[in-house]
């Protein structure tokens, strides 16, 4: 029997979205994706706490939530952890954390510092990175092979590209536009999840 872990799916909030508009989309996603990632650096602390409360009230477990660069909130609510930008050099000790990386060297450094997961990207052309060349699948594979912790592919992800990322060693995928620009985010997430499971023989 194959005991390979199931690929995980992260829904990352888009930039410059209002709290209520975010929730209209996210409430469809929270029961389908594995992690809801509250990024929204422009939100106030109170808005971030409101967002956490709404997701938890909907039935998600605290360990299914990630918050960007707010280790204090992650610790206070018992979340999966805080996600840190690559430039961050002071690491939290009171909550789990992950980090965005863009090279093998950065990935290895984050693992040595105690990261629990990594985001690597942007793998494919992405609307959130206009004019910037994608790093590609070969670079993703190199990073995934260089560390023992989960590497999550991000950037231009859709259902088909998610499978390519997993085949290159990623432990999961994270998406922004694929979910938050969809007319039916829950349906889009279900399609991605079904595609990953079918391609990994998980039924």
Count of structural domains within the chain = 1
Within-domain flag for 2: no
Within-domain flag for 105: yes
CA-based max dimension of the chain: 47
d(CA 35, CA 12): 8
Q: State the pLDDT at residue 3.
A: 57
Domain membership of residue 46 as a residue range: 8-199
d(CA 106, CA 103): 5
Mean local confidence (pLDDT), 171-184: 97
d(CA 60, CA 51): 12
Beta bridge partners of 66: 37, 81
pTM for the model stands at 0.93
Q: What is the CATH number of the domain that holds 20?
A: 3.20.20.70
pLDDT in tens, 24-61: 999 999 889 999 999 999 999 999 999 999 999 999 99
d(CA 98, CA 39): 13
Cis peptide before 122 (omega within 30 of 0): yes
Instruction: Round the average pLDDT of the chain to a whole number and report it.
Output: 92
Within-domain flag for 1: no
Contact at 8 Å (CB) between 81 and 97?
yes
pLDDT in tens, 90-126: 888 788 999 999 999 999 999 999 999 999 999 998 7
Within-domain flag for 104: yes
Contact at 8 Å (CB) between 160 and 4?
no
Contact at 8 Å (CB) between 34 and 63?
no
Q: Enumerate the H helices of 43-199 as residue ranges.
A: 45-57, 71-77, 104-113, 136-146, 159-167, 177-180, 185-199
Within-domain flag for 188: yes
């Amino acid at each position: 029997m194959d005991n390979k872990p199931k690929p995980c799916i992260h829904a990352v909030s888009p930039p410059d979205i209002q709290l209520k508009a975010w929730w209209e989309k996210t409430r469809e996603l929270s029961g389908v994706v594995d992690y809801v990632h509250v990024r929204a650096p422009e939100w106030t602390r109170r808005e971030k706490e409101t967002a956490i409360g709404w997701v938890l009230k909907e039935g998600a477990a605290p360990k299914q939530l990630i918050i960007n660069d707010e280790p204090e909130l992650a610790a206070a609510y018992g979340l999966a952890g805080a996600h840190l930008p690559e430039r961050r050099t002071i690491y939290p000790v009171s909550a789990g954390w992950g980090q965005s990386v863009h090279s093998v060297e950065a990935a290895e450094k984050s693992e040595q510092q105690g990261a629990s997961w990594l985001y690597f990207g942007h793998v494919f052309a992405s609307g959130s990175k206009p004019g910037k060349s994608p790093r590609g699948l070969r670079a993703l594979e190199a990073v995934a092979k260089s560390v023992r912790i989960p590497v999550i592919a991000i950037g231009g992800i859709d259902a088909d590209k998610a499978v390519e990322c997993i085949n290159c060693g990623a432990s999961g995928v994270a998406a922004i536009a694929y979910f938050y620009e969809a007319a039916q985010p829950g349906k889009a997430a279900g399609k991605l999840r079904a595609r990953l499971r079918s391609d990994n023989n998980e039924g």
